[in-house]
Chain A
Amino acid sequence: DTGVSQDPRHKITKRGQNVTFRCDPISEHNRLYWYRQTLGQGPEFLTYFQNEAQLEKSRLLSDRFSAERPKGSFSTLEIQRTEQGDSAMYLCASSPRDKDYEQYFGPGTRLTVT
């Protein structure tokens, strides 16, 4: 399978704990995006990488959130001191060079904060 992969698929954690998600983009794609989707809503943009550089962050990305893409390949999204409002589906997408509109999504990581 050469699509975008995400791990884990589902994470249940207690309020106040830290969680980390991983995304592996399509191998030849140099751009990687993180989105968050809550029930009944469309995905909302969180942040974006071109290679290893984080080029844009949404105001939704509070200081409890941090994302990295250390070698320009896989990316991680960490949430510190989770809150119940962080419960959502976290989606990763990647796109080929010069075709940002052609974003391919992974299956998502569903986070439940109890």
Chain B
Amino acid sequence: QKEVEQDPGPLSVPEGAIVSLNCTYSNSAFQYFMWYRQYSRKGPELLMYTYSSGNKEDGRFTAQVDKSSKYISLFIRDSQPSDSATYLCAMSEVKAAGNKLTFGGGTRVLVKP
């Protein structure tokens, strides 16, 4: 079983709808939780990160972390066709000597005009 699980989708929504994405994980040592957006044949782009549990909002994006359930979410409000991409969750522990990211497999999102 993978450390980080993510539904591959695809998730298809009409323009203007709320996109809801989530990941579950098994490693209780994860402390930082990130969301990346990746367009086809491009590198991942960091959207936002959260430390420990709680919510964080940035424009149309809201990230939530529930460490007790080992569950994280990303919500995209007022979705646009340009939001069509693969969304990757990533997590890391806190170590003195650097922190590799552990990724989920990504969820493909398609926002239809």
Contact = CB atoms under 8 A, between A and B. Distances in A.
A50 B98 contact: yes
Contacts, number: 67
Interface in A43-71: 43-45, 48, 50, 55-56, 58
Contact of A42 (B45, B49, B51, B90): B90
Nearest to B106: A42
A41 to B, nearest CB: 5
Nearest to B95: A100
B32 A42 contact: no
B43 A105 contact: yes
Interface residues of A, number: 27
Interface of A: 4, 31, 33, 35, 40-45, 48, 50, 55-56, 58, 91, 93, 100-108, 110
